[in-house]
């Protein structure tokens, strides 16, 4: 059964499931910049906790609801968030109850990857604006549907690729766009982030307080065990997207941004594997990937993931390299350096101490890695940019609109697909289909589990 046949058979069931969203086409229009914007945070363990604190810090924004399928988090965990950041939100276990609430203006999605696109679509249909964590989708097809929903319902939908709000990254991209390195011909991103093996866990009874059916959502049913929850889901294909779609999406986004690529690549090649201690693991995704993307104009992007024992490149383990006709440059954290000509003489550089980071001048003698607020400042700017656009209704002013998030996320998925099929693939950017490759095309979407289905018509 293909995707269209499957969706046709299940659409009636699914339509009933999303009725609570109301498919509203309302428009959010604030009369005053001082009027409070009410936000619901979806998923509050780990990244969602950060969302909670970030929104509570933005003037005239209030987290009025938190949503999580694990009721066990509503005790001490939420109490700690309220004590640290303020607020007194109500709790829900089903996002659809929140989408019915006309007093909720926006939702911040910090759930596992396999939920991102569907929750974004539901929220748009319900007339809510959306801040969606990276990656914005679990497969290429549903990501495009999330973009369609944002445009159809005229919603402000931001992607959590916060490097777009980083001042150093912005300065670097501007320098390269103005020809600072000459004509760019290639770029490389690295994600050398050590990851311990997750080992093996036995299947067991679902804990009291966890709605495991809701947690699985669009994914097919699998027996419960602890390795499916609490971050380890990243390393299972049904839920995660390898470290290229986890940490690496940030570097992938900067690489595509710097190269000015607004289309998909034409040729993708990927090799790698899962290398670990040999004691056995539930992990399905590779921890080592070497992926190359070639565009129709012949320019190249290359991405490396090394999650086991490794060194660095030019002293960098997470970051970006850009190569041009006049020199090359590297972005590492909040620092950009360039090296010009055959001799590699130091050229233009910029770091956080030279820009308007909050409080930076007071700590100018410290390396940026030792100061947590340097990166937090960029993330705060990202949330503030989203709120500003919610107020203005100008999604075009987002630093990371859903379309930008989708195009960068799609790169991660295309690389993962090339790895999974085990051969070089060719992709048509217009149709968003692989050329004469049924095996690869079968991985552009998934078989959705009713009633958690992304429909053809959003």
DSSP string, 349-384: EEEGGGTT-TTGGGGTTS-GGG-HHHHHHHHHHHHH
* Fold match, 3-162 / 165-199+226-393+410-414: no
Closest CA to 185 of 348, 297, 336: 297
Is 50 exceeded by the pLDDT of residue 379? yes
Give the Cα separation of 419 and 304 in Å (integer). 13
Inter-axis angle of helices 372-392 and 47-57, nearest 10: 70
Question: What sign results for the dihedral spanned by CA atoms 323, 328, 332, 336?
Answer: negative
Confidence band for 369, pLDDT divided at 50, 70 and 90:
very low
| Residues contacting 220, CB < 8 A, separation 6+ | 238, 447, 449
Q: Identify the weakest region by mean pLDDT among 189-193, 273-277, 432-436.
A: 273-277
181 within 8 A of 324, measured Cβ to Cβ: yes
> What is the 8-class DSSP label of residue 309?
S
SS3 readout for 60-110: CEEEEEEECCEHHHHCHHHHHHHHHHCCCCEEECCHHHHHCCCCCCEEEEC
Rounded average pLDDT over 18-42: 60
How, if at all, do strands 288-294 and 267-273 pair? antiparallel
Confidence band for 358, pLDDT divided at 50, 70 and 90:
low
| Strand, helix or coil for residue 244 | coil
Rounded to the nearest 5°, which phi and psi values hold at 212? Answer: -70, -35
pLDDT at 353: 78
Please report, to the nearest 10 degrees, the dihedral formed by the alpha carbons of residues 103, 109, 111, 112 taken in order.
Answer: 150
Rounded to the nearest 5°, which phi and psi values hold at 288? Answer: -135, 120
Q: Identify the weakest region by mean pLDDT among 13-17, 69-73, 190-194, 329-333.
A: 13-17
pLDDT at 236: 97
Give the Cα separation of 351 and 334 in Å (integer). 6
| Residues contacting 96, CB < 8 A, separation 6+ | 17, 18, 20, 21, 122
Is 70 exceeded by the pLDDT of residue 193? yes
Q: Identify the weakest region by mean pLDDT among 46-55, 201-210, 258-267, 270-279.
A: 270-279
Higher pLDDT, 9 or 304: 304
pLDDT at 18: 39
Q: Distance between the two ends of the chain, CA-based, in angstroms?
A: 21
For the chain, the structural domain boundaries read 3-162, 165-199+226-393+410-414
| Residues contacting 144, CB < 8 A, separation 6+ | 406, 432
Give the Cα separation of 124 and 149 in Å (integer). 6
DSSP element (H, E) containing 323: strand 318-324
pLDDT at 223: 96
| Residues contacting 344, CB < 8 A, separation 6+ | 327, 328
CA 4 to chain centre: 26
Rounded average pLDDT over 243-252: 96
Rounded average pLDDT over 355-380: 53
pLDDT at 295: 98
∠ CA 114-115-120 to the nearest 5 degrees?
Answer: 130
pTM metric for this prediction: 0.90
pLDDT at 200: 93
Tell me the pLDDT of the chain averaged across its residues. Answer: 89
Rounded average pLDDT over 363-386: 64
> What is the 8-class DSSP label of residue 266?
S
| pLDDT tens-digit map of 80-122 | 999 999 999 999 999 999 999 999 999 999 999 999 999 999 9
> What is the 8-class DSSP label of residue 206?
P
The class of domain 165-199+226-393+410-414 in CATH terms is alpha beta
E strands in 205-317: 267-273, 288-294, 300-306
Whole-number percent of the chain with pLDDT over 90: 82
Higher pLDDT, 366 or 310: 310
Is 60 exceeded by the pLDDT of residue 21? no
What's the token pair of residue 445? 């979407």
pLDDT at 406: 98
Is 50 exceeded by the pLDDT of residue 280? yes
Number of residues that make up the chain: 458
pLDDT at 362: 41
**Cα separation values, 355 from 163, 342, 359, 372, Å:** 15, 30, 11, 16
CB atoms closer than 10 angstroms to residue 457? 8
The class of domain 3-162 in CATH terms is alpha beta
Give the Cα separation of 341 and 374 in Å (integer). 31
């Amino acid at each position: 059964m293909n995707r269209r046949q499957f969706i046709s058979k299940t659409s009636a069931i699914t339509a009933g499931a999303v009725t609570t969203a109301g498919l509203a086409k309302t428009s959010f229009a604030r009369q005053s910049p001082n009027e409070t914007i009410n936000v619901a945070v979806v998923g509050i363990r780990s990244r969602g906790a950060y969302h909670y604190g970030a929104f509570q810090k933005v003037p005239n924004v209030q987290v009025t609801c938190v949503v999580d399928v694990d009721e066990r988090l509503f005790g001490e965990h939420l109490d700690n968030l309220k004590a640290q950041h303020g607020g007194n939100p109500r709790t829900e276990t089903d996002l659809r109850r929140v989408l019915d609430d006309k007093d909720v203006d926006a939702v911040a999605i910090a759930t596992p990857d396999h939920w991102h696109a569907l929750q974004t679509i539901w929220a748009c249909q319900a007339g809510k604006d959306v801040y969606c964590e990276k990656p914005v989708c679990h497969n290429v097809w549903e990501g495009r549907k999330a973009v369609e929903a944002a445009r159809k319902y005229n919603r402000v939908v931001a992607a959590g690729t916060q490097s777009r709000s980083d001042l150093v990254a912005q300065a670097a991209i501007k320098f390269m766009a103005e020809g600072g390195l000459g004509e760019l011909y290639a770029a490389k991103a690295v994600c050398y982030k050590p990851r311990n093996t997750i080992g093996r866990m036995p299947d067991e009874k679902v804990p009291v307080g966890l709605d495991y059916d809701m947690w699985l959502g669009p994914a097919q049913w699998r027996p419960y065990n602890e390795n499916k929850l609490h971050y380890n889901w990243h390393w299972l294909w049904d839920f995660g997207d390898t470290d290229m779609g986890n940490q690496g999406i940030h570097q992938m986004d900067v690489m595509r941004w710097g190269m000015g690529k607004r289309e998909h690549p034409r040729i993708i090649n990927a090799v790698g594997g899962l290398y670990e201690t040999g004691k056995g693991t539930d992990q399905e995704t590779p921890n080592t990937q070497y992926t190359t993307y070639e565009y129709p104009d012949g320019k190249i992007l290359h991405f490396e993931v090394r999650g086991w024992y490794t060194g660095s490149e030019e002293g960098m383990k997470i970051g970006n390299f850009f190569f041009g006709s006049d020199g090359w440059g590297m972005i590492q954290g909040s620092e950009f350096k360039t090296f010009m000509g055959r001799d590699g003489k130091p050229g233009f550089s910029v770091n956080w101490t030279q820009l308007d980071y909050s409080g930076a001048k007071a700590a100018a003698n410290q390396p940026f890695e030792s100061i947590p607020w340097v990166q937090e400042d960029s993330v705060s700017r990202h949330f503030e940019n989203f709120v500003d656009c919610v107020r203005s209704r100008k999604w075009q002013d987002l630093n990371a609109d859903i379309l930008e998030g989708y195009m960068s996320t799609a790169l991660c998925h295309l690389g993962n697909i090339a790895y999974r099929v085990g051969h070089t693939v060719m992709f048509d950017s217009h149709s968003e289909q692989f050329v004469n490759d049924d095996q690869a095309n079968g991985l552009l979407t998934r078989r959705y589990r009713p009633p958690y289905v992304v429909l053809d018509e959003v």
